[in-house]
Amino acid sequence: MAAGTDLHAYGELTAACTRCRLAEGRTQVVFGSGDPDADLMFVGEAPGFHEDKQGVPFVGQAGKLLERLLEGIGLGRSDVYIANVLKCRPPGNRDPQPDEIEACEPHLFRQIELIEPRVVATLGNFATKLLSGRPLGITRVHGQEQEITLGARNVLLYPIYHPAAALYTPAMLKVLESDFARIPALLTGATPAAPASAAPVFEPVPEPSPAAPAVQLGLF
Ligand code: URA
């Protein structure tokens, strides 16, 4: 409960944030939503059109799919906490810029510190690279959990494709479903090995070259 009060207070402070240029074009700051004491936290990329209007993350098409994937493992939005790397919508939904990520990063780190999740599932490249501190892309690391230290705490980082990837590439849905299927075990601490098809996290494999719209959007 203390986490809830502190998180709410931090959200109120963040509502007036002017740390980067995105403050100029936003309707409002999209801080995050869900259970402030959640064991499972999702971190996406940035608010889109609908999120900017409603002030809630993942309420558009990708959000609907995220909800379906959650339902598939017996969870709802109110069981988890959902946030983004950027709290304000980039114009035209363009990629987050490095200086915007850097400016916004304290907000995400403070959220994680207050929520104290056991598992942080990063959705797509931007969240994965930021929280892993590694340049490895989601294609190489999805579905492979990694114990990391954030602030003073250990959390299990679990990279997953961004749900929007399945909107562009329907075959991606199976991959997302199979990565989601491992979440309940990760939450209970029973962590069966990642599927054999996944490459090891620490293998420095170059990123695939941009070829499809979803790639250009930073989803892969
Ligand atoms: N995509 C994201 O990464 N975040 C949202 O809030 C919505 C879509």
pLDDT of residue 23: 98
Each residue's pLDDT, cut to its tens digit, for the chain (220 residues) gives 558 999 999 999 999 999 999 999 999 999 999 999 999 999 999 999 999 999 999 999 999 999 999 999 999 999 999 999 999 999 999 999 999 999 999 999 999 999 999 999 999 999 999 999 999 999 999 999 999 998 888 999 999 999 999 999 999 999 999 999 999 999 998 654 554 444 333 333 333 333 334 443 445 5
pLDDT of residue 190: 63
* Cβ 46 under 6 angstroms from ligand 1: yes
Ligand 1 atom nearest to CA at 85: 3
pLDDT of residue 47: 98
Q: Say how many Å lie between the CA of residue 47 and the centre of ligand 1.
A: 5
* Cβ 52 under 6 angstroms from ligand 1: no
Q: 123, 105 in Cβ contact below 8 A?
A: no
* Cβ 219 under 6 angstroms from ligand 1: no
Secondary structure of residue 78 in the 3-state scheme: helix
Ligand 1 atom nearest to CA at 45: 3
Nearest CA to ligand 1 atom 8: 58
Q: Say how many Å lie between the CA of residue 93 and the centre of ligand 1.
A: 10
Q: Say how many Å lie between the CA of residue 215 and the centre of ligand 1.
A: 16
Element (H, E) at 154: strand 153-160
pLDDT of residue 2: 58
**Amino acid, single-letter form, for residue 214:** A
The whole model's pTM is what? 0.88
* Cβ 84 under 6 angstroms from ligand 1: yes
Q: 34, 80 in Cβ contact below 8 A?
A: yes
pLDDT of residue 106: 97
Domains of the chain: 2-191+211-216 (3.40.470.10)
Q: 104, 45 in Cβ contact below 8 A?
A: no
Ligand 1 atom nearest to CA at 44: 3
* Cβ 62 under 6 angstroms from ligand 1: yes
Q: In what order do the strands lie in the sheet with 33-34?
A: 33-34, 81-84, 40-44, 119-123, 153-160, 146-150
Q: What is the DSSP letter of 79?
A: G
Q: Say how many Å lie between the CA of residue 85 and the centre of ligand 1.
A: 9
* Cβ 44 under 6 angstroms from ligand 1: yes
User: Residue 54, CB half-sphere, CA atoms under 13 Å: how many?
Assistant: 13
